Amino acid sequence: MKAIVYTKYGGPKMLHLQETPTPSPKKDEVLIRVEAASINDWDLGLVEGDLVNRVINGLVKPKRQIVGSDIAGIVETTGAGVTRFKVGDAVYGDLSGRWGGFAEYVCASETCLALKPASMSFVDAAAIPQAAMLAVQAIIDVGQLQAGQKLLINGAGGGVGSFGIQLAKLHGVKTTGVDHTSKLAFMRSIGFDHVIDYTKEDFTKNGQQYDLIVDAKTNRSMFAYTKSLVAGGKYVTVGGSMKHLLQLMLLRSWISKVHHIHLCLVSLKTNRDLPYINELFEAGKIKPNIHGTYRLENFREAFHLFAAGQHKGKVVITMHEH
């Protein structure tokens, strides 16, 4: 099979397309013919090889050499112990921790997958798992967003933001999105009431306050957010700068107590809310926003777009010709 492989850390330039053996499923796994896979920040982090990802995947060189967590495809074969799926089922899910999705075939535990609704394309399905789960868990579970509140999403033009705005609109709240100049029109088009260009304005210094801030970038000191939240407001991060995430974990109790706010970190529960997203999708209440769909042989273009932060919504790579 063809796969996007890297054997050294150093960013997207280290990725190359090569023939690799097709994996065989274990007892509780299925072999999936991957139709589409989307790029996430974690994929980029693994390929770049920062300290945290080297601890996860090998200090000197990557142990798992095929990244890709969000996949959609068709079950080709099943392990002897598999009970939830059968050959021919269309499935999708987040394979974080095992990865391997940027390939024509991948093995996955049946617990990592959900049936794909017939009305959902493989490209749409591949765009959903990680970004949509982070959005649900940040806005609904941890953020506990309520009607009439004010929400700000930092990094609003990416995957989490493009799902988050749709969830927020279901709850009847006022929304503000923060991102680069090039994404403002896109953010308005998907429903943000207000948009802020971070190259021209710092939302933590403009005097505005919010009930909930969801941060997909985490590129500031935790102290910067204290004046941007109402009393009792919540700051929820889904990932970003390790320096600032460590600051949150070390100081959140003290900052929260002194400033009467709540600082929270989403610990991703992979695939948990896929049934909920399926319901919203089939009801026409939520849909992925796809910046571009790239063929497997054009993977470099897709990864460079993502690494440059120029994508609007999700970037998807298709694995087979049709």
Per-residue pLDDT tens for 43-76? 999 999 988 889 889 999 999 999 999 999 999 9
Q: What is the mean pLDDT of residues 202-224?
A: 93
At 243 the pLDDT is 82
Whether 253 and 297 share a structural domain: no
Kindly state the greatest CA–CA separation across the chain: 60
Of the candidates 292, 318, 288, the one whose C-alpha atom is nearest the C-alpha of residue 132 is 288
Whether 49 and 114 share a structural domain: yes
How many structural domains are present in the chain? 2
At 290 the pLDDT is 96
Q: What is the mean pLDDT of residues 108-129?
A: 96
Domain that holds residue 306: 2-128+288-318
Confidence grade of residue 248 (pLDDT, cut at 50, 70, 90): confident
Of the candidates 17, 5, 126, the one whose C-alpha atom is nearest the C-alpha of residue 64 is 5
Whether 218 and 245 share a structural domain: yes
Classify residue 194: in a domain, yes or no: yes
Q: Are 87 and 75 in contact (CB under 8 A)?
A: yes
Whether 253 and 306 share a structural domain: no
E strands present in the chain: 2-5, 16-19, 29-38, 70-78, 90-94, 105-109, 114-115, 150-154, 174-179, 194-197, 210-215, 229-237, 262-265, 290-295, 314-318
Whether 81 and 138 share a structural domain: no
Whether 23 and 37 share a structural domain: yes
Residue 168, pLDDT > 70, answer yes
Whether 91 and 70 share a structural domain: yes
Residue 321, pLDDT > 80, answer no
Confidence grade of residue 189 (pLDDT, cut at 50, 70, 90): very high
Whether 135 and 106 share a structural domain: no
How many of the other CB atoms lie within 10 Å of CB of 230? 14
Classify residue 155: in a domain, yes or no: yes
Residue 322, pLDDT > 70, answer no
CATH, residue 157: 3.40.50.720
Enter the tokens of residue 105: 């075939």
Backbone angles phi, psi at 278, to 5 degrees: -55, -45
At 242 the pLDDT is 78
What is the 8-class DSSP label of residue 172? T
Whether 113 and 198 share a structural domain: no
Whether 30 and 95 share a structural domain: yes
Distance set, CA 108 to CA 93, 140, 277 (Å):
9, 28, 21
Residue 229, pLDDT > 70, answer yes
At 258 the pLDDT is 86
Confidence grade of residue 209 (pLDDT, cut at 50, 70, 90): very high
Confidence grade of residue 257 (pLDDT, cut at 50, 70, 90): confident
Classify residue 218: in a domain, yes or no: yes
Classify residue 272: in a domain, yes or no: no
Residue 42, pLDDT > 80, answer yes
Confidence grade of residue 296 (pLDDT, cut at 50, 70, 90): very high
Confidence grade of residue 245 (pLDDT, cut at 50, 70, 90): confident
Classify residue 283: in a domain, yes or no: no
Classify residue 270: in a domain, yes or no: no
Q: What is the mean pLDDT of the chain?
A: 94
Strands 70-78 and 90-94: antiparallel
